Amino acid sequence: QVNLVESGGDSVQPGGSLTLSCAHSGVSGYTGSTKYCLGWFRQTSGEEREDVATIEGDGGTHYADFVKGRFTVSKDDTKNILYLQMKGLKPEDTAKYYCAAMRRVCDAYYHGGFVFKNWGQGTQVTVSS
């Protein structure tokens, strides 16, 4: 079975930085193939989950407009870890952050109607003074 575990969430002051990690296992078939998509999403109380950033198996990346260059998504295929480097954090970035995976190119999600089925439990990020 697929397992994804987020870590790195913390309470930080505005303007601070954090790096989230997502260790994954049971994703055989994802590595060694360009046809997969790993993503970061976030959700606040009373709101629907929103996209943050995704990365293709071949390394291509996609970012939500609100990131504005502040966040960087990356992955280490040797260690099977997905990262989200965040800087210049704002109070509105406060949310529970989730990682997810699907064995499709990211465009299948953005324009093909496919959804992520494999999710981690999430890690809380709180930005306040």
94: closest CA among 53, 127, 48? 127
Q: How far is C-alpha 18 from the chain's CA centre?
A: 13
What does residue 67 show for φ and ψ, rounded to 5 degrees? Answer: -65, -40
pLDDT digits (tens, 9 = 90+) for 55-112: 998 899 999 999 879 999 999 988 999 999 999 999 999 999 999 998 888 999 999 9
Quote the pLDDT of residue 83: 98
Question: Within 13 Å and on the Cβ side, how many CA atoms surround 34?
Answer: 5
CB 108 within 8 A of CB 114: yes
What does residue 34 show for φ and ψ, rounded to 5 degrees? Answer: -85, -10
Task: Kindly tell me if the per-residue pLDDT of 123 is higher than 60.
Answer: yes
